[in-house]
Amino acid sequence: MSESPTMATIPGAAHEAGTDQGTTPVRPGRARRPRPIRYASWWWTLPAVLIIVTMHYVSVGVGGFFSFTNYKGFGSFKLVGLDNFVKVFTDPVARGAVGNTLLLALGFVVLVNLFGFGFALALNRQLKSRHFLRGLLFMPVVLSPLAVSFVWKFIFQYDGPLNGFLSALGLGDLQKAWLGDPATAIWTILLVLVWQHIGITMVIYLAGLANVPQELEEAASMDGAPLLKRFQHVVLPLMRGAVVIATTLSLIRGLSVFDQVLALTAGGPFNATETLATQVWRQTFVNSNFGYGSAIALVLTIVIAVLALAQMGLMRSREDHGK
């Protein structure tokens, strides 16, 4: 655990860790125990430790406690056992939010990594415009998710560009109020989410591809290895670290989607696009149900922790398998 997957798998980092081990003994000599730390003082870490412990550990603990109460944000409260959790799994809106969150996260991880990897491969070498295109494709990443979602909201309007495009193609039958139809609204959110994050995923994969020596690929291609085999046996094994980072980051991002929902549909129509994050906000800060909101947040926390760990474990075991 002390060694993150990032460090373990990306050669650049391994190199740095290597130089580090060259200058310090891995196991500081037990024999010379009283030797003082000469370089820094332990108490220099106190401000950070204090704020991290308060805001990440104590607050999560207290939040967990809230989720077993009927706290309204003010005044006194009492313990209500598992009532809040029973409500999460019986209330149709909350159940819908769980489903939507999982759908969005899964769709997001698959699509954004496919497109990101695709663009990274396309823009890795050779193309003359690659630097320019990388810069262009990365641009949406730096913009506010809320602001770009409003642009997409316009595109999905009934009299908006998407329907205009369809009718110009003679596909007028397909026109609909994309954001107003419970069947399509969730997919518009997925599309906007994927669209904005292709650039960052591409950059992660490009960093990974930079570790694949060109000579290795050339050698493989001279040996007559077809493109797909070359990819599978030469490129992919060297990209495991990038794959772990990109999929983990996108999974966490997908599970906590909020801005896009609020801008595009505000959770509607008929709660069809509520996610766990929007429900946490709505129940806690709009409806002032701090206890119930905390319970939803606890469910979200557990979902994120379980899925992220499961996925990292999966990637790790596959890696060991490969060796």
Partner 1 sequence: MLRYTRKTLVREIIVIAIALAMLIPFYFLIVMAFKPDSEVITTSPYAPAQAATAGAFAEAWGAEGNKSLAMGMLNSIIITGGSVVMLVAIGSITAYSISRMPGRPGRLLRILVLIAMILPFQLGMVPVYVAMRNLHLLGTYPGMIILYTGLFMPLAVFLYSGFAESIPRDYEEAANIDGASKFQSFVRVVFPLLGPATGTVAIMCGLIIWNDFFSPLIFLSGSNIPTLPVVVYSTVGELASRWNVIFAAVIISMIPILVYYLVAQKKFIQGFSGGLKS
- Restricting to residues 65-124, name those near partner 1 by CB under 8 A: 66-67, 73, 119, 122-123
Nearer to partner 1, 136 or 321 (CB): 136
Q: Report the DSSP beta bridge partners of residue 277.
A: none
Nearer to partner 1, 38 or 321 (CB): 38
Residues 6+ apart with CB under 8 A from 4: none
Asked if 291 contacts 80 with a C-beta cutoff of 8 angstroms, the reply is yes
Our finding on whether 16 is near partner 1 (CB under 8 A) is: yes
Nearer to partner 1, 31 or 142 (CB): 142
**Minimum gap (Å) between residue 289 Cβ and partner 1:** 10
The span of 81-89, 105-113, 133-141, 172-180 binding partner 1 (CB under 8 A) equals 133-141
Dihedral (CA of 152, 158, 163, 164) sign: negative
Task: Name the nearest CA neighbour of 320 among 3, 38, 2, 5.
Answer: 5
**Minimum gap (Å) between residue 136 Cβ and partner 1:** 6
Our finding on whether 229 is near partner 1 (CB under 8 A) is: no
The span of 62-70, 98-106, 174-182, 313-321 binding partner 1 (CB under 8 A) equals 62-70
User: How far is Cα 302 from Cα 237, in angstroms, rounded to an integer?
Assistant: 31
Nearer to partner 1, 48 or 321 (CB): 48
Binders of partner 1: how many residues, by CB under 8 A? 111
* Residues 251-270 within binding reach of partner 1 (CB under 8 A): 252, 255-256, 258-259, 262-263
Q: Which of 79, 89, 144, 318 binds partner 1 (CB under 8 A)?
A: 144
User: How far is Cα 203 from Cα 145, in angstroms, rounded to an integer?
Assistant: 18
Q: What are phi and psi of 256, to 5 degrees?
A: -110, 25
Asked if 253 contacts 266 with a C-beta cutoff of 8 angstroms, the reply is no
Q: Which of 108, 117, 178, 290 binds partner 1 (CB under 8 A)?
A: 290
Residues 6+ apart with CB under 8 A from 316: 5, 244
* Residues 190-209 within binding reach of partner 1 (CB under 8 A): 195, 198, 200, 203-204, 206-207
Our finding on whether 294 is near partner 1 (CB under 8 A) is: yes
User: How far is Cα 60 from Cα 301, in angstroms, rounded to an integer?
Assistant: 9
Dihedral (CA of 244, 250, 252, 254) sign: negative
Our finding on whether 239 is near partner 1 (CB under 8 A) is: no
Nearer to partner 1, 186 or 257 (CB): 257
Measured at the CA of 196, the angle between CA 195 and CA 201, to 5 degrees, comes to 90
Nearer to partner 1, 55 or 82 (CB): 55
